Amino acid sequence: MKRLVIKIGSNILASAEQGLNTRRLRAITKDISEVADKGYQVAMVSSGAIAAGLKKLGLREKPHDIRLQQAAAAIGQSSLMWAYEHHFSEFNKKVAQVLLTRDDIANRLRYINAKNTLFTLMSYNVIPIINENDPVAVDEIKFGDNDMLAALTAGLIEADMLVILSDVDGLYSKDPGRKGAKIIKSVDKITPDIEKIAGGKGSAVGTGGMYSKLLAAKQTTDYGIPVVIMNGKKSGLLPGLIEGKKIGTYFEPRKQGLTSKKGWIAYGVRSRGAIYLDDGAVKALTVRGKSLLPSGITKIEGRFDVGDYVRCLTREGKKIAKGLTNYSSKDLEHIKGKKTSEIERVLGYKYSDEVIHRDNLVLI
Ligand code: GLU
Structural domains in the chain, sorted by start: 3-262 (3.40.1160.10), 271-363 (2.30.130.10)
Distance of CA 178 to the CA centre of its chain: 30
Least confident of 60-64, 94-98, 111-115, 300-304: 60-64
Q: Residue 116: what pLDDT?
A: 95
Handedness of CA 131, 218, 258, 306 (dihedral sign): negative
Q: Distance between CA atoms of 329 and 325, rounded to whole angstroms? A: 9
Rounded to a whole number of angstroms, the CA Rg of the chain reads: 23
Confidence (pTM): 0.88
Q: Is the pLDDT of residue 206 over 70?
A: no
- Which has the closest alpha carbon to 7: 215, 270, 186, 224? 215
Q: What is the mean pLDDT of residues 337-357?
A: 95
pLDDT in tens, 23-40: 999 999 999 999 999 999
Q: Which residues does 167 contact at the CB level (< 8 Å), separation at least 6?
A: 9, 11, 12, 208, 231, 232, 233
| Average pLDDT over the chain, rounded to an integer | 92
CA of 52 to the centre of ligand 1 (A): 10
Identify which of 10, 25, 66, 138 to mutate to test ligand 1's pocket (most ligand atoms within 8 A of the CB): 10
Pocket of ligand 1 (CB under 6 A): 9-10, 47-51, 73, 131-132, 134, 145-146
pLDDT surpassing 90 at residue 149: yes
* For residue 208, pLDDT beyond 70: no
280 by Cβ neighbours in 10 Å (0-12 / 13-18 / 19+) ranks as: exposed
Helices and strands: H and E segment counts in the chain? 14, 15
pLDDT at residue number 231: 95
- pLDDT value for 86: 98
pLDDT at 202 over 70: no
> What stretch of H or E contains 224?
none
Out of 8, 50, 148, 149, mutate this one to test ligand 1's pocket (max ligand atoms within 8 Å of CB): namely 50
What whole-number distance in Å separates Cα of residue 314 and Cα of residue 321?
Answer: 10
Confidence of residue 259 (pLDDT cuts 50, 70, 90): confident
Question: What is the pLDDT, as a whole number, of residue 200?
Answer: 59
